[in-house]
Amino acid sequence: MPIDPAFILHQTEHWLLNHHQSTKLPGYLMLGAKAPIASLADMPDAALAELGGLLARTQRVMETQLQPKWLYISRYGHMPGFALHFHLIPVYDWVEQAFWQDERYRALHNFGSQTLARDLTDGAELTLFVWREFGESDAPPQIQGPGVKQVIERLRTGFADQ
């Protein structure tokens, strides 16, 4: 699926950084390989060399411009037809609060033989919450702060200033 140019934030010779097109969470980014390669092991050396610095720069820009409580950087990549890509998910204080206010996720958090303390929410639980509530839900939690379009502009400025 082609990426709408309105969502593209930055690109290098080997990588394209864009706002996730189907999420309502401002700042949820995708960093994808331009080459149709699905494995790090198959990437050209130049693309691999570029990746580390680009991930670090993206993290710096996101943390400076968006100030999330947490920033998750992950690779899931098992869907055929998609090039290697990484998810960069900002978890703001208000996202974590919305997680705790949703009874369904509190029940998930308490599942099992040991109940974790509230401040020990793990990344898997919050990632699931973000995917379900900001990506799939017709009624996502209330956004606090700038919306997707404003965040795209803020991040573009951040990359231009770096």
DSSP 11-27: E-SSEEEEE-TT--STT
For residue 117, give both structure tokens: 């303390």
pLDDT at 138 over 80: yes
| pLDDT for the residue numbered 119 | 55
Backbone dihedral angles phi then psi of residue 30, each to the nearest 5 degrees? -125, 130
pLDDT at 105 over 70: yes
Specify the residue for token string 């670090």. 56
pLDDT at 62 over 80: yes
Averaged pLDDT, 95-100: 93
Higher pLDDT, 45 or 80: 45
27: left (phi over 0), alpha (psi -120 to 50) or beta: left
Single-letter amino acid code for the residue at 73: I
CA distance 88 to 31: 8
| pLDDT for the residue numbered 142 | 94
The answer for residues whose C-beta is within 8 angstroms of residue 131's C-beta and 6 or more apart is none
| pLDDT for the residue numbered 124 | 87
pTM here is 0.91
DSSP state of 130: I
| pLDDT for the residue numbered 113 | 43
pLDDT at 57 over 60: yes
Averaged pLDDT, 28-48: 95
Single-letter amino acid code for the residue at 50: E
pLDDT band at 53 (very low <50, low <70, confident <90, very high): very high
Supply the mean pLDDT for the chain.
90
Whether the CB-CB separation of 24 and 136 falls below 8 Å is answered with no
Averaged pLDDT, 111-133: 74
Averaged pLDDT, 63-80: 90
CA distance 101 to 97: 6
Percent over 90 (pLDDT), the chain: 76
Please report the domains of the chain, with CATH numbers, ordered by start residue.
5-161 (3.30.428.10)
CA distance 102 to 147: 22
CA distance 10 to 49: 17
DSSP state of 80: T
